[in-house]
Structures are given as C-alpha cells and as structure tokens.
Amino acid sequence: MLGRLDHVALAVPDLDAACERYRSALGARLSPPKDLPDHGVRVVFVELENTRVELLEPLGTGSPIARFLEANPAGGMHHICYEVADLAAARDRLVGEGARILGDGEPKIGAAGKPVLFVNPKDFAGTLIELEEA
C-alpha cells in the first residue's frame, strides 16, 4: 500500500526565520511560501534529492499547527507523509484495520495539489501520518 516517502513536516513558530536558517546554514533550495487556508497553514518545502521537508507555520490561532506549537514552542516534527496509489482504497483498508481517519474522512487537497488524508497518531505509535495520492 505505501509508496515512497513524500515528506517530513516540521512545525515552526516563524516560517521566514526557519527558511532563512535552512537557506543560510544548510544551503537549502526552498519553494515559494504557499497559504493553505483549508489546512490552517502556510508552507514552504525544502527540496532534497530524494524527498522534501515541509516547514509549517500556523495561519491563525485555530490552526492545528498553532495548537502543536502551544505544546512545543520551539517547533518540531509534526507528521510524516507517504504516497499511496489509491487514497480511497488506502483509507478503506486502514478503517478496516481499526485505524481512525481525522476530520470527516474525506480527502482534502494538500500543498502539492493532490488529495490527502491524515491518520490518527494514536493508531501509529504517536506519529501523525499523512497519506497523499501519488
């Protein structure tokens, strides 16, 4: 069911500062910032040869990233994203295995313009998993 690792997402309290740090200290190639109001975040991707790192900043106090940063003020790993060939089939399989899909269970469009779903971290050793249709 799982395809390649698409990205690891890091919540950051200041996206501009995080981008500058990645650019100056690591020589990172960065995507332009993108607001995703449906997800309550502003994102930038650090482009690597074999995957990406997603830097997430909250859009407002109701954002899930704002809540994450309340508990982790310096930021940290928020989720890991895997590609799947068929998102609906992956969702149905996971639900059949007892996993819980967050939200209403229906895909939303993610930062890459592809459908995504999130799986409850309590079902995967405390790790929030995003599934993205390849």
Question: Would you call 133 a catalytic residue per the annotation?
Answer: no
What's the CA gap between 134 and 6, in Å, rounded? 9
At 116, list the tokens. Answer: 């995504």
User: In a structure prediction context, what are the per-residue pLDDT tens digits for the chain, which is 134 residues long?
Assistant: 999 999 999 999 999 999 999 999 999 999 999 999 999 999 999 999 999 999 999 999 999 999 999 999 999 999 999 999 999 999 999 999 999 999 999 999 999 999 999 999 999 999 999 999 99
At 42, list the tokens. Answer: 């502003």
What's the CA gap between 29 and 131, in Å, rounded? 24
Q: Give residue limits of the domains in the chain.
A: 2-133
Q: Are 101 and 94 in contact (CB under 8 A)?
A: yes
Q: Are 78 and 10 in contact (CB under 8 A)?
A: yes
**Beta strand 128-133 with 34-36: parallel, antiparallel or unpaired?**
unpaired
Task: Provide the CATH number for the domain formed by 2-133 in this structure.
Answer: 3.10.180.10
At 72, list the tokens. Answer: 């982790």
* Dihedral (Cα; 70, 37, 24, 12), 10-degree rounding: 10
What single DSSP character describes residue 49?
Answer: S
Q: Which of 54, 57, 130, 133 is catalytic?
A: 130
